[in-house]
């Protein structure tokens, strides 16, 4: 008997697989299912490539809301509290409430976060009152100061949040802070100035220098240079000098309080010239008795 080779064994296995595949019965409708699956895959690919998903989702949402509204869950009344700077229309738009929104499917969990994306809104609460009412309560930030940086003036809250990149005329009386980082530190200097009302009323702007210390620019053009630390003590000294010696109404251009043990003032050009002339007149003339 001749030995069986590996090629003969492989040939026998191939014949058995061929017979099994020939006798295999294809389930009824498999061709239709395969064609349908291929068509759906092609449609899905076209939707993704054509960026139609947002439109499809929007259509489904509209259909869902329409069905809920028809069932009696249309929003017919919206109670709102806390709005002052933000209009009712802005609040509804931010919350995602439209004329076709149904109460049943409105997402009250996500709505507060959408509302707080508006810098004026510090906090928000949204409640559903079935079957057809919505309650929106917001807490607004207060306009605290005007912030000037790189030639632009914005309205900021006391935590430095920029509320508006422009200034409404009714907010012009707010105190002005100037410089990089001044918005976030505005509460620091303005709260201190509130303790010295006579001085505060003379301040035109608080200017942050190098993000380290403040200068005060008074309405008469006088500059007050404050130290990095012990600012309150420096302001106390300045207020006392102005009260006792009328320092801030004198003919000077700067008052330097950066050194704890002294106050340095710089005279205006006219005052410096007058002082120089006065000192010149006091010098004894040559040949005259001293």
Residue-wise DSSP of 18-84? HHHHHHPPPPTTHHHHHHHHHHHHHHHHHHHHTT-HHHHHHHHHHHHHHHHIIIIIB--EEEEES-S
* Ranges for all domains in the chain classified under CATH 3.40.50.11690: 145-275
pLDDT digits (tens, 9 = 90+) for 235-266: 999 999 999 999 999 889 999 999 989 999 99
Q: pTM here?
A: 0.69
Classify domain 54-140 by CATH number.
3.10.20.310
pLDDT of 29 reads 53
CA nearest to 90, candidates 68, 64, 109, 116: 116
CA nearest to 227, candidates 241, 213, 240, 239: 213
User: How far is CA 137 from its chain centroid?
Assistant: 20
* Ranges for all domains in the chain classified under CATH 3.10.20.310: 54-140
On whether the CB atoms of residues 107 and 116 are closer than 8 A, the answer is no
Q: Which CATH class is domain 145-275?
A: alpha beta
pLDDT of 27 reads 58
Pick out the chain residues at pLDDT < 50.
1, 20-21, 38, 40, 43-45, 47-48, 52, 290
């Amino acid at each position: 008997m001749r030995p069986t080779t590996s090629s003969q064994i492989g040939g026998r296995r191939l014949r058995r697989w061929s017979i099994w595949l020939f006798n295999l019965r294809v389930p009824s409708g498999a061709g239709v299912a395969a064609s349908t699956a291929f068509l759906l895959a092609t449609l899905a690919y076209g939707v993704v490539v054509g960026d139609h998903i947002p439109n499809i989702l929007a259509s489904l949402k509209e259909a869902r809301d329409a069905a809920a509204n028809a069932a009696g869950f249309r929003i017919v009344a919206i109670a709102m509290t806390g709005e002052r700077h933000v209009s009712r229309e802005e609040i509804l738009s931010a919350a995602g409430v439209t004329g076709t929104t149904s109460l049943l499917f409105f997402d009250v969990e996500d709505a507060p976060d959408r509302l707080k994306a508006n810098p004026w809104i510090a906090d928000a609460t949204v409640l559903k009152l079935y079957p057809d009412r919505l309650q929106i309560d917001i807490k607004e930030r207060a306009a605290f100061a005007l912030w000037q940086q790189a030639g632009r003036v914005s309205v900021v809250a006391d935590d430095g949040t920029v509320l508006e990149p422009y200034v409404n005329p009714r907010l012009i009386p707010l105190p002005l802070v100037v410089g990089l980082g001044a918005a976030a530190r505005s509460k620091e200097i303005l709260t201190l100035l509130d303790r010295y009302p006579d001085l505060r009323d003379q301040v035109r702007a608080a200017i942050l220098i190098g993000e380290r210390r403040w200068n005060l620019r008074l309405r008469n053009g006088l500059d007050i240079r404050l130290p990095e630390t012990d600012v309150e003590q420096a302001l106390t000294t300045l207020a006392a000098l102005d009260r006792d010696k009328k320092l801030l109404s004198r003919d000077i251009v700067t008052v330097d309080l950066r050194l704890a043990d002294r106050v340095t003032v710089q005279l205006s050009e006219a005052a410096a010239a007058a002082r120089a002339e006065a000192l010149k007149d006091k010098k004894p003339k040559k040949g005259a008795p001293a």
